[in-house]
Amino acid sequence: MSTGVVVLLVVVVLVVVGIAIATMIEVVQEYERGVIFRLGRVLGRPKGPGLILILPFNIDRMRKVSLQVVAMNVPPQDVITKDNVTMRVDAVVYSRIVDPVRAVVEVQNYLFATSQTAQTNLRAMLGKYDLDTLLAERERINRELRQIIARVTHDWGVEVQSVEVKDVDLPDELRRAMAREAEADREARALLINSDAELRVSRVLSEAAAVMAQHPQAMQLRFLQTVAEVATERNSTLVMPVPVDLLSLFARGGGGAGPDGRPAIPSPPAPSGAGEQQAPPASPRADDERRPGEGNGRPG
């Protein structure tokens, strides 16, 4: 055997050994696990993380599986609610693999399978509720939807951590109707609050009126206080109402009042002599007919 043949054999062996060593070394990241198939049969436990040695020449084949949480967007779905309202709803599903072996062996593509399961159950789940329940109790619906999807994906080694209904797209006519309903509800609450406030104010005023009726001086004090408050405004004109009782008081001080409550008109002064009658005034014609030299009807 020649030296050249030996050298060639050595080179071939070294190349084969190098290729074998290169195919035997695998590196698995911290967030990954390696599912190993040896001659087509899966090993019991996944490998990793770190450096892993496997048999070369495709005796062992490894498939890496990520353990990270996957946020999966569910496409918008046309949903008909229990009260026959058509709308479009989309959601997001958060899931992760807890059993890498089952995720590889039991299902061909666990991401696609989880997405299809979420779409189907989303339409079926939301169709059981009316529109008001969907809008008001979204948290409860999210929990129930997660439980339904998790029961399906449990056999695939996939854990559904949460499901959230992201957006509810309502028709424009329904949006306008809901806006009018909300506005009417707010106006009704405002009227109710205003009426309740007026009722409380009326009760307080009734109590104040009862107190003032027992103490008339309180009304005068309140009147003077109101006048003082109005007088502080420089651009205001103050009109002072005069009570009728005050006029009656002045009337009594000036000679009394008449039968109708008005001040009495004073009578003319009486003659100086008692029983003496006042002579009527002489007419102008009698003065003209009086002769000269005559005075007081006596001869001159």
Q: What DSSP string describes 37-96?
A: EETTEE-SS-B-SEEEE--TTTTEEEEEEE-S-EEEEEEEEEEE-TT--EEEEEEEEEEE
State the pLDDT at residue 239: 64
State the pLDDT at residue 253: 57
Answer yes or no: is pLDDT of 291 > 80.
no
User: pLDDT confidence of 10, banded at 50, 70, 90?
Assistant: confident
State the pLDDT at residue 246: 58
Distance CA 188, CA 107 (A): 57
State the pLDDT at residue 295: 44
Answer yes or no: is pLDDT of 133 > 60.
yes
Answer yes or no: is pLDDT of 276 > 80.
no
Answer yes or no: is pLDDT of 86 > 60.
yes
pTM over 0.85: no
Q: Following DSSP, what letter does each residue of 215-266 receive, concatenated?
A: -HHHHHHHHHHHHHHHHT-TT-----PPPHHHHHHHHHHTT-B-TTSSBPPP
Answer yes or no: is pLDDT of 95 > 90.
yes
User: pLDDT confidence of 91, banded at 50, 70, 90?
Assistant: very high
State the pLDDT at residue 249: 59
In three-state form (DSSP H/G/I as H, E/B as E, the rest C), the secondary structure along 112-150 is HHHHHHHHHHHHHHHCCCCHHHHHHCHHHHHHHHHHHHH
Q: In this structure, which amino acid lies at residue 250?
A: F
Half-sphere exposure of residue 178: CA atoms within 13 angstroms, side-chain side:
10
Here the tokens at position 198 are 């007026």
**What is the arithmetic mean of pLDDT over 239-245?**
61
User: pLDDT confidence of 273, banded at 50, 70, 90?
Assistant: very low
Count Cβ atoms within 10 A of the Cβ of residue 118 and give its class: 0-12 exposed, 13-18 middle, 19 or more buried. buried
Answer yes or no: is pLDDT of 14 > 90.
no
Q: In this structure, which amino acid lies at residue 30?
A: E
Distance CA 139, CA 292 (A): 133
**What is the arithmetic mean of pLDDT over 38-61?**
88
Domain 70-170 in CATH 1.10.10.60? The answer is: no
Distance CA 145, CA 127 (A): 12
Mean pLDDT of the chain, nearest integer: 79
State phi, psi for 45 to the nearest 5 degrees. -120, 145
pLDDT digits (tens, 9 = 90+) for 244-263: 565 565 566 554 445 444 44
Who wins on pLDDT, 142 or 275? 142
Answer yes or no: is pLDDT of 194 > 50.
yes
Distance CA 61, CA 55 (A): 8
- Whether 24 and 50 have beta carbons less than 8 Å apart is answered as no
- Give the 3-state secondary structure of residue 275: coil
Half-sphere exposure of residue 41: CA atoms within 13 angstroms, side-chain side:
2
| Highest mean pLDDT of the ranges 8-12, 45-49, 243-247 | 45-49
> Which of the residue ranges 55-69, 116-130, 145-159, 219-233 would you say has the lowest mean pLDDT?
219-233
Which residue in 40, 23, 24, 25 sits closest to 105, CA to CA? 40
Distance CA 96, CA 68 (A): 6
State phi, psi for 46 to the nearest 5 degrees. -75, 155
